[in-house]
Amino acid sequence: MTAASDPGVTAQNDAPEPATGVVLRAEGLTKKFGQVVGLAGVDLHVGAGEVLGVIGDNGAGKSTLINCLTGALTPDSGQLYLDGEPVVFRRPQDAREAGIETVYQTLGVAPALDIASNLFLGREIRRGGVAGQLFRFLDQRAMQQKAEVFLKQLGILTIQNMKQSVETLSGGQRQAIAVARAAAFGSKVVVLDEPTAALGVKESNLVLDMVRQLRDRGLGIVLVSHNMPNVWAVSDRIHVQRLGTCAAVLRPQTHTMSEGVAIMTGAAVV
């Protein structure tokens, strides 16, 4: 985890454009699926310690945008910059290695595996020596201890047993595990796609609290959601996606939710 810049900086800045400490920037992203336009030239940036909300109607291109940021899709044209350096992600693994973690709406975790295994899935801690190098033996104790630390840091103290399988957890707790994983390994940016869609109010708040904590650690956050109150509650800026382009970038302080929805649906323009 790096670069805890002052979280206030971008949020207080009235100009909606270039903020200081931009960690991830996208310029002119386009993506076509045959004849269907997914993205038609989208710019976006998120600063360290900033939450960028992304809203938009169904089919507006939110998922396509997220997938281009996280390596799940490669854009047809356009350029990504991470800390000012141009980057190309061909696979999710590339984005992950560059410090961008993603929390998926439904596909975050392997239900039958325990908490620690899920947190470290694909990045297991191995034992030292031949056992670890050659035979890829796991250091299970280290993973469990670290898992506990991660969860404690994020205030998920209610989960006590790291060997508990994830499917025995509530929906909110599962999502918390997914967020904790992103938090543990995302050194620069965490992208969340509809993280509260399946959750009740209490559980949604748990996840939003975690989002704020990650922001306070200086990570850049991109939060895609249909839930306007959630977006308005945590976002510093709000990117409104419409028909494959960015219709506006709002601030919760300057626009109400209904104004945001109007822009999103094309009932109003900025």
Partner 1 sequence: MTRALSGDAPTLPQEVQRTLHAHPAISPTLILVAAWITFTVINPRFLQPGALSLLVQQTAIVAILAVGQTLILLTAGIDLSVGAVCVLAAMVMAKITSEQGVPGVLAILIGIAVAMAAGLLNGILVTRLKLPPFIVTLGTLSIFTAIALLYSKGATIESGVLPGELNSTGHTWSVGAFRITAGVLLVLLVYVVVGVALRKTAWGRHVYAVGDDAQAAGLAGVRVGRVLLSVYVVAGVIYGIGAWVMIGRVGGASPNAVVDANLESITAVVIGGTSLFGGRGGLLGTLLGALIVQSFSVGLALAGVDGQFRLLAVGILVILAVSVDQWIRQVKA
Instruction: For partner 1, give the closer residue by CB, 101 or 236.
Output: 101
| Interaction of residue 135 with ligand ADP, rule CB under 6 A | no
Instruction: For Mg ion, give the closer residue by CB, 104 or 120.
Output: 104
Q: What x-and-dash track marks residues 93-122 binding partner 1 by CB under 8 A?
A: x--x-----x-x--xxxxxxx---xx--xx
Residue 108 touches which of partner 1, ligand ADP, Mg ion, none (Cβ within 5-8 Å per kind) = partner 1
Nearest to 5 by CA among 22, 27, 26, 24: 22
- Assign 59 to helix, strand or coil: coil
Considering only residues 34 to 73 of the shown chain, the ones binding ligand ADP according to CB under 6 A are 36, 38, 56, 58-64
- Assign 53 to helix, strand or coil: strand
The sign of the CA dihedral 209, 69, 237, 61 is: negative
What is the H or E stretch that residue 93 is in?
helix 92-98
Instruction: For ligand ADP, give the closer residue by CB, 36 or 110.
Output: 36
Nearest to 70 by CA among 184, 182, 173: 182
Residue type, 174: R
Considering only residues 135 to 154 of the shown chain, the ones binding partner 1 according to CB under 8 A are 135-138, 140
Instruction: For ligand ADP, give the closer residue by CB, 103 or 177.
Output: 103
Contact 114, 103 (CB under 8 A): no
| Interaction of residue 197 with partner 1, rule CB under 8 A | no
Q: Could you give the CA distance from residue 32 to residue 9 in angstroms, rounded to a whole number?
A: 36
Q: What x-and-dash track marks residues 60-79 binding Mg ion by CB under 5 A?
A: ---x----------------
Q: What x-and-dash track marks residues 152-191 binding partner 1 by CB under 8 A?
A: ------xxxx--xx-xxxx--x-------x----------
Q: Could you give the CA distance from residue 19 to residue 9 in angstroms, rounded to a whole number?
A: 8
| Token output for 114 | 């325990």
| Interaction of residue 102 with Mg ion, rule CB under 5 A | no
| Token output for 206 | 């748990």
| Token output for 159 | 């989960």
Q: Which residues bind ligand ADP (CB under 6 A)?
A: 33, 36, 38, 56, 58-64
Q: Which residues bind Mg ion (CB under 5 A)?
A: 63
